[in-house]
Amino acid sequence: MTQAITIGGDLAVGRLGFGAMRLTGPQVWGEYPDRDGGIAVLREVVAAGVTFIDTADVYGPHTNEILIREALHPYPDDLVIATKGGFVRGGFDYSTLGAVGNPNYLRQSAHMSARRLGVDTIDLYYLHSGRATDAPFEDQVATLAALREEGLIRHIGLSNVTLEQFKAAQAIVDIAAVTAHFNASARTGADLLRAAEECGVVFSPWHPVTLTEGPDTDKVMAVIEPIAAEHGVTSRQIALAWLLHRSPVMLPIPGTTSVAHLKDNLAAAEITLSADEVAAITELATEA
């Protein structure tokens, strides 16, 4: 198992990144209530050797990107920051979340994310949703392709898309990364993982350490807990280690608000699972 992965052919990062979403208010709305604590966590992320941080303009909205800049700017040369655009929030309630694909809105979103992060070029910019209906999906991707040509975006990613949308986007511009739902207990993004592997595209799984999403939670835990006990680690660490063994294009981005939990997550990269252990976990969920 390699300890590095390359995004877009030129951005080498560690196999475990950091998802910053939790460093916001309740329900991903507003400022993170412990600003100093959030800054301390982000600084520890970098001090621990993490070289990939994932955020989005809708986290807060905007507060997550601002916190990252306050904590880490000027950024280390090897730090890659990914952000996303295409979702809007109208309030605290998640029911106000909606997808926007208007090209002018996407252009504005990317420019504003760069301004908040304090960068001239965004390393990796995701279209945050393929669900927007106010503009054709192909036009949304073409907008990001234009921003790449203009130098605002270095690499383009896709989040919340279907396999068909992924293929359509690849026909327009090189896609460097994709995110989808995939963990030890639930794998609705399995088709996108296969497509990412075929194309050499980085795959970041949602909810990477969740073990209770499938219908057979008891079965999942009955397999993973003995493996964790054998290695002297937690079940969550085994879930992360399995992802790293599962595919060479896998880039998990577990998030936390705790330095201790951060260290536990990073330690998962040092766990070596046997082929039988990997197979036992792989067989726990359907990857049709």
Mind telling me the catalytic residues? 59
The pair of three-digit structure tokens given for residue 224, joined into one six-digit string: 């993973």
Beta-carbon contacts of 212 under 8 Å, excluding residues fewer than 6 positions away, are: 185, 220
| Gap between the Cα atoms of 66 and 32, Å rounded | 11
Task: Please give the C-alpha separations between residue 84 and each of 110, 185, 232, 246, 254, in angstroms, as whole numbers.
Answer: 8, 26, 37, 26, 17
Task: Please give the C-alpha separations between residue 152 and each of 143, 148, 250, 256, in angstroms, as whole numbers.
Answer: 11, 6, 26, 29
The pair of three-digit structure tokens given for residue 11, joined into one six-digit string: 């951005």
| Gap between the Cα atoms of 53 and 256, Å rounded | 12
| Gap between the Cα atoms of 285 and 182, Å rounded | 10
Give the burial class of 62: count Cβ atoms within 10 A of its Cβ; 0-12 exposed, 13-18 middle, 19 or more buried.
middle
Give the burial class of 240: count Cβ atoms within 10 A of its Cβ; 0-12 exposed, 13-18 middle, 19 or more buried.
buried
| Gap between the Cα atoms of 63 and 59, Å rounded | 7
| Gap between the Cα atoms of 264 and 222, Å rounded | 21
